[in-house]
């Protein structure tokens, strides 16, 4: 029996999301935080608490967590919907509204992968030479395709820059569909969040995640939007999508955000140091970043990727997404120094 023949055509031609799990000393490939957001002592208390009710399903509404998130963001809990990572919310949004789904490229690959896996039409509009939105082309695509959903990752993964505020706003105003501003990397950005725009624009959804600030293992993502959108997307959410341990640990982290904010500050300063030092290395072009990673161009990216890994430093090879580029996540000062030392060595050979 040929299993492939049984698979839906839109899945047959799909390639699974590729995340490497290679042994290394410095893991700088997945835009994670090098610091857990909770100490092991704090985690132990929350875990102990959660272990007492392992026989019960988790809170389907994640009330405590949503209340804490709402307070921190100065919105109401009914404006927030929780996901098993923001990945899941991308899927729920596409399942709810359908396509066409429009996004710029290069960007986070899951927008396209999920649209295709759900059998929805999708369209990609190339970014301009500064990796900003090509507003004329984008507005043109909106006119021609009338997308139900637009995904804008700002700061953008993998390029690192934020898109121009005015261009995003224009897209929100001109779209007859939903515009999702994916702010996964907003905590590291010097630019304004779009959360204050929610009051004015009913078609706006903001995506956030706790994965980049020290809780990637928990898979806690959430969206902030108009209550009407929350209620519709909530219909496709699986009832117990966020497990009790994740809910409790995330709530514990949110009840005192000072350590998270201090870590974010440290990561931003390390990203700035990485940028300064990378600019000094001949043969490397690092691109400006508002996120916790830096995209850089190098003569032979496959070789440099391989050689860095041989020396114990894992970065992301962006082949097929931004050809000739690698992406490095800001790690601890020690990991970053190691990366810079190895890169300098390789580039002066
Ligand atoms: N959006 C963007 C732009 C991302 O880069 C990522 C993580 N790679 C996600 C969403 C998904 O994050 P998570 O599912 O861990 O919340």
Q: In this structure, is the dihedral angle defined by the CA atoms of residues 18, 23, 28 and 30, taken in order, positive or negative?
A: positive
| Count of CB atoms situated within 10 Å of the CB of 59 | 16
Question: What pLDDT score does 124 carry?
Answer: 98
Predicted TM-score (pTM) of the model is 0.96
Q: What's the CA-to-centroid distance between 184 and ligand 1, angstroms? A: 6
β-partners of residue 151 are 180
Question: What pLDDT score does 15 carry?
Answer: 83
Question: What pLDDT score does 17 carry?
Answer: 75
Q: CATH code for 53-255? A: 3.40.640.10
Task: Tell me the C-alpha distance between 275 and 273, whole Å.
Answer: 5
Task: Tell me the C-alpha distance between 63 and 48, whole Å.
Answer: 20
Place of tokens 């307070």: 71
Question: What pLDDT score does 331 carry?
Answer: 98
Q: 9 in the Ramachandran plot: left (φ > 0), alpha (ψ -120 to 50) or beta?
A: alpha
Atom of ligand 1 nearest to the CA of 31: 8
State how far Cα 109 lies from the chain centre. Answer: 10
Among 108, 224, 329, name the best residue to mutate to test ligand 1's pocket (greatest count of ligand atoms within 8 A of Cβ): 108
Question: What pLDDT score does 145 carry?
Answer: 97
Phi, psi of 39 (to 5 degrees): -70, 165
Q: Where does ligand 1 bind, in terms of residues with CB under 6 Å? A: 31, 85-87, 108, 153, 157, 182, 184, 209, 211, 216, 221
Q: What's the CA-to-centroid distance between 3 and ligand 1, angstroms? A: 31
Half-sphere exposure of 136 (CA within 13 A, CB side): 1
Question: What pLDDT score does 50 carry?
Answer: 85
Q: What's the CA-to-centroid distance between 125 and ligand 1, angstroms? A: 20
Q: What is the mean pLDDT of the chain?
A: 96
Q: What's the CA-to-centroid distance between 58 and ligand 1, angstroms? A: 23
Among 155, 157, 181, name the best residue to mutate to test ligand 1's pocket (greatest count of ligand atoms within 8 A of Cβ): 157
Q: CATH code for 3-30+259-347? A: 3.90.1150.10
| Alpha-carbon distance values, 235 to 39, 106, 129, 189 (Å) | 36, 31, 40, 33
Q: Are 194 and 181 contacting, i.e. CB atoms less than 8 angstroms apart?
A: yes
Q: What's the CA-to-centroid distance between 86 and ligand 1, angstroms? A: 6
Task: Tell me the C-alpha distance between 154 and 290, whole Å.
Answer: 9
Name the residue ranges covered by the structural domains of the chain: 3-30+259-347, 53-255
Question: What pLDDT score does 21 carry?
Answer: 77
Question: What pLDDT score does 31 carry?
Answer: 97
Q: Mind listing the pLDDT tens digit of every residue in the chain (349 residues)?
A: 899 999 999 899 888 877 767 889 999 999 999 999 998 888 888 888 888 899 999 999 999 999 999 999 999 999 999 999 999 999 999 999 999 999 999 999 999 999 999 999 999 999 999 999 999 999 999 999 999 999 999 999 999 999 999 999 999 999 999 999 999 999 999 999 999 999 999 999 999 999 999 999 999 999 999 999 999 999 999 999 999 999 999 999 999 999 999 999 999 999 999 999 999 999 999 999 999 999 999 999 999 999 999 999 999 999 999 999 999 999 999 999 999 999 999 998 7
């Amino acid at each position: 029996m040929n299993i492939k023949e049984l698979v839906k055509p839109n899945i047959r031609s799909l390639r699974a999301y590729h995340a490497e799990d290679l042994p290394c000393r410095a893991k700088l490939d997945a835009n994670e935080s090098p610091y857990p957001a909770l100490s092991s002592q704090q985690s132990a208390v929350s875990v102990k608490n959660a272990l007492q009710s392992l026989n019960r399903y988790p809170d389907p509404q994640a009330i405590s967590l949503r209340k804490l998130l709402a307070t921190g963001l100065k919105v109401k809990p009914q404006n927030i919907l929780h996901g098993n990572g923001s990945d899941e919310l991308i899927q729920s949004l596409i399942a709810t509204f359908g396509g066409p789904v429009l996004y710029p490229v290069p960007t986070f690959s899951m927008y396209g992968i999920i649209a295709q896996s759900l059998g929805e039409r999708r369209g990609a509009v190339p970014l301009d030479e500064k990796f900003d939105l090509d507003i004329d082309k984008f507005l043109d695509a909106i006119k021609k395709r009338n997308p139900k959903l637009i995904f804008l990752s700002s700061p953008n993964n993998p390029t690192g820059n934020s898109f121009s505020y005015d261009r995003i706003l224009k897209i929100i105003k001109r779209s007859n569909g939903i515009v999702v501003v994916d702010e996964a990397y907003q905590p590291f950005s010097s630019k304004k969040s779009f959360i204050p725009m929610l009051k004015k624009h009913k078609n706006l959804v903001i995506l956030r995640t706790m994965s980049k600030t020290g809780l990637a293992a928990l898979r806690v993502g959430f969206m902030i939007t108009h209550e009407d959108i929350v209620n519709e997307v909530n219909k496709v959410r699986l009832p117990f999508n966020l497990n009790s341990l994740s809910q409790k640990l995330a709530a514990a982290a949110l009840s005192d955000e000072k350590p998270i904010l201090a870590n974010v500050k440290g990561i931003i300063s390390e990203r700035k140091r990485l940028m300064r030092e990378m600019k000094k290395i001949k043969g490397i072009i690092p691109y400006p970043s508002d996120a916790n990673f830096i995209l850089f161009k190098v003569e032979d990216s496959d070789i440099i990727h391989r050689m860095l890994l041989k020396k114990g430093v894992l970065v992301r090879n962006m082949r097929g997404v931004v050809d000739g580029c690698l992406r490095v996540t800001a790690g601890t000062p020690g990991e970053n120094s190691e990366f810079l030392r190895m890169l300098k060595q390789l580039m002066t050979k």
